[in-house]
Chain A
Amino acid sequence: MRKTSMLLLEILLLVLAVIFLSPIYMMVVNSFKNRAELYENALALPTSFSFQFYKEAMQKMNFFTAIGNSLYVTIVSVLIVIVLASMTAWMLVRTDNKLSKIIFMTLVATMLIPFQTLMMPLMQVMDWIRTNLHLPMLNTHEGLIYMNVGFASGMAVFLYHGFIKSIPIDLEEAATIDGCSKFGVFWRIVFPMLTNITITVAILNVISLWNDYLLPSLTLADKGLRTIPLSTFYFFGEFTIVWNQAMAGLTLTIIPVVIFYMLAQKYIIKGIASGAVK
C-alpha cells in the first residue's frame, strides 16, 4: 500500500516537472517544422529534421556577434564587480567608524531604487560625461560595463560584507605584523577565503547581466554591439513573425544558458540560496 502510493507520488512529481518544461518542448519541436506541419499540429514531433530555420535565424539575429558581445559584457562586468566590491566590503568591515557605516547603509538602501527611476537621468549624466569629458560612455560596451558595475555594486558589497564579518581577523593581523601591506593581506590571505561568496556574487550577476535588456537597449545603438536579448528583441520587431524561424532563434539563445546550467548547477542552486538569505 505504502509502496504503491510512493510510486504514484514519484510519477505525479515527474509528470508535474515535465508539464512545467513543456513550453521548452514546444519551442524546440516547432523550430524544425515547416509551415504546413506547424499549423497542422503544434504539439507533434517533427517528421523531418531540417536546420534551415536555424540557419536563417542565425543570420537575421547576427547570432555569433551577439553571443560574443554578451560574453564580453557579462564576463568583464562580473570580474570588475568581484574585484571592486570585495575590496570595498573588506575595508568597510575592517574600518569600524561612522563613515564606513554611512557608506554601507547608502549602498544597501539604494538597492530598493527601481531601474526606471534612474534610467532617464542616468542617460543625461552619461551624455554629459561624453560631451564634456569626451569619454565614450554611450553606445560602447565599455560604457555599458561601467554602468553594470555601478548597478551591481550595492548587492555585491552587501553579500561580501555579511560574509567577511564572519571570518576571524587574527590571520590578517599576523600577516600585517609580518610586514605584509594591506594590498598583500587582502589578495593573498583574505580573498582566497571568500571563494564561496565570490561564486555566489558571480552567479547572481551572470544570470542578471546575461538576460538584461533595458539598460543595453538604452545605451547601445549600433547593430554590431547588440547583446543576445537585444538582438532577440530586434529579430522579433523588425521581421514579421515566422514562428518556426522564431522558435529556432529562441532555441539558439537558450543553448548557452542550458550549457551554463549543466556545468554549474550545483553552484547556481547554492549561490541562489545563500544570496537570498540575509
Chain B
Amino acid sequence: MKKRKDKLWFVLFTFPLLFIFTTVVIMPFIFGIAYSFVKWDGIPANPKVFVGLDNFIQLFKDERFLSSAWHTVKFTVMAVISVNVLGLAFSLFVTTKLRVRNVARTLFFMPNLIGGLILGYIWQFIFTDVFGYLGQSTGLDGIFFNWLLDPQYALYAIVIVFTWQVAGYTMIIYIAGLQGIPDELVEAAKVDGANVWHRLTKITLPLLMPAFTICLFLTLSGAFKIYDVNLSMTRGGPNNATEMFAMNIYNEIFAYGNYGLGQAKAVIFFLVVAAFTLTQVVMTKKREVQY
C-alpha cells in the first residue's frame, strides 16, 4: 500500500518536467538522427525521401562545410588560449591585497552579462568606425583598419570579442579555485625559499587543475558552438571566411532548405563537440593532484 503511494508521488513530482524534457530534447534528438538519412526541403507537402548515408557522404565533399569546420577549429584554439590566459591573469590580480581588486573584479565580469548578439554589434562599431578613426589620426593604419573586411583579421576580431565576453566568467571560477588552496601550503613554500614564480608554477597552478578542467570545458564547448557573436559581427563574411560550424548548419537548413543534409551536419556537429569535450575532461581530470 505504502509502496504504491510512493510510486504515485514519484510520478506526480517528476512527470511534468520529464514530459516537457522529452518533447523538447529527447524526441527532437531521435527524430534529428532520422532526418539525417532523409532528403527533404522542409515543405510539409513535399515527400521525405530516404537516402541512406548519402547526406553524410555529401557533407564530407562540401567544401564550404569543411572550411567552416576549419575556421571553427582555428577560432576555438585561439579563443580557448586567450580566454584562459586572461581569465587566470585577472584572477591572480584580484586575489592580491590590492585595494582596487573589488572594483576590478566587478568591471572584468561585466561583459559576460551582456548577450553575444549585443556585444557583437558594439564591437562591429569599434572595428568599422573607431578603428578607421584611429588609423587616420595615428597613422597606424597597419593595425587600425576595418578588421571585419579582412578574412584573416575578421576571425581574430571574433576571438577578441569572445575573449572579452568570457574571460570574466573564467576569472570567477579561477578565483574560487585559488581561494580553495590553503594558505599554509603557499606560506610553507615561502619559508622554504621559493620565489613568486616558483610558488606560482609549482604550487598554485598544479592545485588549480580542477578549475582548469571546468574552465577548459566551458570555453571549449562555448567556442565550438559560437553563433550569436558570429552572426552580429560578420554574418559569416567576408566571403564566408568567418562562417563557423553552427552558422553553416543554420544556413544549410533554414537559408538553403536542405533539411536532411543540414541535419546530418548537425549530427556530426554533436559527435564532434561531445568527442572533443569528453576527451578534454578525461585528460585534464587525470592531471588533477591531491594534497
Nearest Cβ in chain A — how far from B111, in angstroms?
8
Q: How far is the CA of A236 from the CA of B125 in the complex (A)?
A: 12
Does B154 lie at the interface of the complex (its beta carbon under 8 Å from any beta carbon of A)?
no
Q: Chain A: interface secondary structure? A: helix
| Least Cβ–Cβ distance between B266 and chain A, in angstroms | 4
Whose C-beta in chain A lies nearest to the C-beta of B132?
Answer: A42
Interface check B267, CB cutoff 8 A: yes
Q: Does A121 contact B (CB under 8 A)?
A: yes
Q: How far is the CA of A62 from the CA of B179 in the complex (A)?
A: 45
Residues of B1-50 at the interface with A, using a CB-CB cut-off of 8 Å, are: 6, 9-10, 13-14, 16-18, 20-21, 23-29, 31-32, 35, 44
Contact B13 A115 (CB under 8 A): no
| Interface assignment of A85: CB less than 8 Å from any CB of chain B | yes
Q: Evaluate contact between B232 and A20: CB separation under 8 angstroms.
A: no
Q: In the complex the two chains form, what is the Cα distance from A119 to B187 in whole Å? A: 53
Which of B63-71, B77-85, B92-100, B200-208 lies at the binding interface? B92-100
Interface-facing stretch out of A48-56, A167-175, A191-199, A253-261: A253-261
A84-B16, A214-B227, A233-B232 known; A118 vs B29 contact (CB < 8 Å): yes
Is B17 a contact partner of A153 (Cβ separation < 8 A)? Answer: yes
Measured CA separation A260–B224 after assembly (Å): 29
Contacts of B254 in A (CB 8 A): 120
Q: A232 contacts B176, CB within 8 Å?
A: no
Question: Is A150 part of the binding interface, using a Cβ–Cβ cutoff of 8 Å?
Answer: yes
Size category of the A interface is 35 or more
Shortest Cβ distance from residue A136 to the other chain B in the assembled complex, whole angstroms: 15
Interface window among B54-62, B190-198, B269-277: B269-277
B259 near A: Cβ within 8 Å?
A: yes
Contact: A211 with B116, CB < 8 Å? yes
**Interchain CB contact under 8 A, B98 and A116:** no
Do B17 and A10 touch (CB < 8 A)? Answer: no
Report Cα–Cα, A125/B17, bound state, in Å.
17
What 4 A-B pairs are tightest by C-beta distance, nearest first? A150-B24, A211-B115, A121-B28, A84-B17
